[in-house]
Amino acid sequence: MQDQINTLIEDIKEDYAMWTTKSDGEITPWLEQMIKEFNEGLTFKAGKKYIKIMSKGSVWGFVVNVDNDNQFRKGDILKPAGWAAPTRNFARGNIISGGYKISWTGTA
């Protein structure tokens, strides 16, 4: 699961870098600094049921971290309902099976 979380975080970083980069592909020192700060602010914390993905003090999303959830599978990506809990309406993808679509601003 650790590898999949790391891959998710790298995907988020990559999306931010692509969004930040100028259309001609140029990365100015100022943009490099923005990307560096964003990357350093992207963290995660494992709880009892979920892994919380955070970006500079706000919640990006949650990943289900248990096998016994009656609605979701382990690895499902959920939008945040708030700081402490996810929205439990439907999964936005799964980091174990792959094929998820995300944005640096949050789950799709």
Average pLDDT, the chain: 93
Indicate the residue type of 46: A
Confidence of residue 99 (pLDDT cuts 50, 70, 90): confident
More confident residue, 22 or 67: 67
Give the H/E segment covering residue 7: helix 2-20
Stretch 62-87: mean pLDDT: 96
Q: What's the confidence (pLDDT) of residue 107?
A: 67
**What are φ and ψ of residue 97, in 5° steps?**
-85, -15
pTM assigned to the model: 0.91
Stretch 33-39: mean pLDDT: 95
Q: What's the confidence (pLDDT) of residue 59?
A: 96
Confidence of residue 108 (pLDDT cuts 50, 70, 90): low
Q: How many domains does the chain have?
A: 1
Q: How many CA atoms lie within 13 A of 79 on its CB side?
A: 12
Domain extent, residue 34, equals 2-107
Q: How many CA atoms lie within 13 A of 56 on its CB side?
A: 11
Stretch 21-42: mean pLDDT: 89
Give the H/E segment covering residue 32: helix 29-41
Rounded distance between C-alpha atoms, residue 61 and residue 44, angstroms: 10
